[in-house]
């Protein structure tokens, strides 16, 4: 942690983004980070995953760690109980907005992907391979329909960081609510399906005050929830928007900055209990 004076001793829940945060450059969560997450739940501190990844992916991470706290997937559109596998909340998009992002794809030529609760579809094999590298087992290459269906929970445009910078004017013209994720995506979901809506649903379910929560994020799509919790912390690789709302900065995701943060939470909680 870059701020050794940060008080984490009253932490009552931990909120964690996945890509660029607890996942390293290989898109995997390291054994050290998994162990710290498991130890927090053993202490009775819920660990809330909040990610743009799919429902299946979140359930896989939760199962690997042994998490029992509901996880937030698809950028807040889906909340799932990892123990029962039941979806506790599903928020689909207005088909017109998904269609507008499809128009961005047509005008720019950048890859397009749209997600339902149970399926992921993309326009290119390259993006399919990338999404599967994140751990999503079933991604299909398909031609997007002229008008997007009504069961879409998230849609994204993908390219290099420079290409996504260049796409900003077109994004602002057609889908001004879209946010940047991992530098290489513009993503869009329902206004009621931002990460914070999913996280607040889980915290309400657990009867946890957001003021007692600490969390880690790295992207523009994390800003909306980082503003709402007591101790938001940015990754060393975070976008400027996330750093601007953080109370502290931990290490880069390539150097297990998330594990540093989680172990510091554990240290302070144990010290307080001693």
* Spatial separation of the C-alpha atoms in residues 128 and 113, rounded to whole Å: 9
* 3 part of a folded domain: no
Check whether 137 has a pLDDT greater than 80.
Answer: no
CATH number of the domain to which 138 belongs: 3.30.1240.10
Is residue 251 classed exposed, middle or buried when 0-12, 13-18 and 19+ CB atoms within 10 A define those classes? middle
* Spatial separation of the C-alpha atoms in residues 195 and 179, rounded to whole Å: 12
* 54 part of a folded domain: yes
Please indicate, yes or no, whether residues 72 and 101 belong to a single structural domain of this protein. no
Please indicate, yes or no, whether residues 234 and 100 belong to a single structural domain of this protein. no
Please indicate, yes or no, whether residues 86 and 104 belong to a single structural domain of this protein. no
Please indicate, yes or no, whether residues 118 and 184 belong to a single structural domain of this protein. yes
User: What pLDDT is attached to residue 174?
Assistant: 97
Please indicate, yes or no, whether residues 111 and 230 belong to a single structural domain of this protein. no
Check whether 14 has a pLDDT greater than 70.
Answer: yes
* 5 part of a folded domain: no
Instruction: Compute the 3-state secondary structure of the chain and give helix, strand, coil in percent, each to the nearest 5.
Output: 40, 20, 40
Please indicate, yes or no, whether residues 142 and 165 belong to a single structural domain of this protein. yes
* 257 part of a folded domain: yes
Check whether 47 has a pLDDT greater than 70.
Answer: yes
Please indicate, yes or no, whether residues 202 and 183 belong to a single structural domain of this protein. no
Residue 102: CB atoms within 10 Å: 22
Of the candidates 188, 216, 231, which is a domain's last residue?
Answer: 188
* 4 part of a folded domain: no
Please indicate, yes or no, whether residues 75 and 46 belong to a single structural domain of this protein. yes
Check whether 135 has a pLDDT greater than 80.
Answer: no
> What is the full DSSP assignment across 175-230?
-TT-EEETTTEEEE--GGGSHHHHHHHHHHHHT--GGGEEEEE-SGGGHHHHTTSS
Backbone φ and ψ of 228, nearest 5°: -95, -15
- pLDDT tens for each residue of 224-242: 999 999 999 999 999 999 9
Report the mean per-residue pLDDT for the chain.
94
* 2 part of a folded domain: no
User: What pLDDT is attached to residue 5?
Assistant: 80
Check whether 2 has a pLDDT greater than 70.
Answer: no
* Spatial separation of the C-alpha atoms in residues 189 and 91, rounded to whole Å: 9
Mean pLDDT, range 21-44, rounded to an integer: 96
Of the candidates 172, 188, 204, which is a domain's last residue?
Answer: 188
Check whether 92 has a pLDDT greater than 70.
Answer: yes
Please indicate, yes or no, whether residues 207 and 235 belong to a single structural domain of this protein. yes
User: What pLDDT is attached to residue 134?
Assistant: 82
- pLDDT tens for each residue of 161-175: 999 999 999 999 999
Check whether 206 has a pLDDT greater than 70.
Answer: yes
User: What pLDDT is attached to residue 144?
Assistant: 94
Task: Residue 111: give the domain boundaries.
Answer: 95-188
Residue 221 confidence class, pLDDT cut points 50, 70, 90: confident
Whole-prediction pTM: 0.85
Please indicate, yes or no, whether residues 179 and 202 belong to a single structural domain of this protein. no
* Spatial separation of the C-alpha atoms in residues 8 and 269, rounded to whole Å: 7
* 123 part of a folded domain: yes
- pLDDT tens for each residue of 139-157: 999 999 988 999 999 999 9
Please indicate, yes or no, whether residues 175 and 233 belong to a single structural domain of this protein. no
* 8 part of a folded domain: no
Of the candidates 144, 159, 188, which is a domain's last residue?
Answer: 188
Residue 61 confidence class, pLDDT cut points 50, 70, 90: very high
Check whether 99 has a pLDDT greater than 70.
Answer: yes
Give me the percent of the chain exceeding a pLDDT of 70. 99
User: What pLDDT is attached to residue 1?
Assistant: 63
Structurally, the chain folds into a number of domains equal to: 2
User: What pLDDT is attached to residue 52?
Assistant: 86
Q: How many CA atoms lie within 13 A of 214 on its CB side?
A: 25
Please indicate, yes or no, whether residues 184 and 103 belong to a single structural domain of this protein. yes
CATH number of the domain to which 203 belongs: 3.40.50.1000
């Amino acid at each position: 942690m870059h701020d050794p004076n940060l008080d984490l001793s009253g932490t009552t829940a931990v909120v964690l983004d996945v890509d660029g945060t607890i996942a390293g450059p290989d898109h995997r969560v390291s054994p050290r980070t998994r162990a710290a997450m498991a130890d927090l739940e053993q202490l009775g501190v819920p660990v809330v995953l909040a990610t743009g990844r799919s429902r299946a992916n979140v359930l896989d991470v939760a199962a690997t760690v042994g998490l029992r706290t509901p996880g937030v997937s698809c950028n807040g559109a889906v909340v799932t109980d990892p123990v029962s596998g039941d979806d506790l909340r599903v928020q689909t998009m207005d088909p017109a907005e998904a269609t507008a992002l499809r128009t961005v794809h047509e005008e720019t030529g950048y890859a397009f992907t749209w997600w339902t609760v149970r399926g992921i579809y993309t326009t290119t094999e390259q993006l399919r391979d990338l999404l599967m590298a994140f751990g999503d087992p079933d991604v299909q290459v398909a031609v997007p329909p002229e008008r997007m269906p009504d069961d879409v929970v998230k849609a994204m445009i993908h390219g290099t960081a420079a290409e996504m910078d260049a796409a900003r004017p077109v994004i602002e013209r057609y889908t001004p609510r879209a946010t940047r994720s991992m530098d290489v995506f513009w993503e869009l979901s329902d206004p009621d399906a931002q990460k914070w809506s999913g996280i607040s649903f889980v915290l309400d379910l657990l009867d946890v005050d957001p003021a007692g929560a600490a969390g880690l994020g790295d992207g523009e799509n994390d800003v909306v929830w980082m503003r709402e919790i007591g101790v938001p912390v940015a990754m060393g690789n975070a976008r400027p928007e996330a750093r601007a709302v953080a109370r502290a900065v931990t290490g880069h995701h390539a150097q297990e900055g998330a594990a540093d943060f989680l172990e510091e939470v554990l240290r302070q909680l144990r010290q307080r209990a001693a």
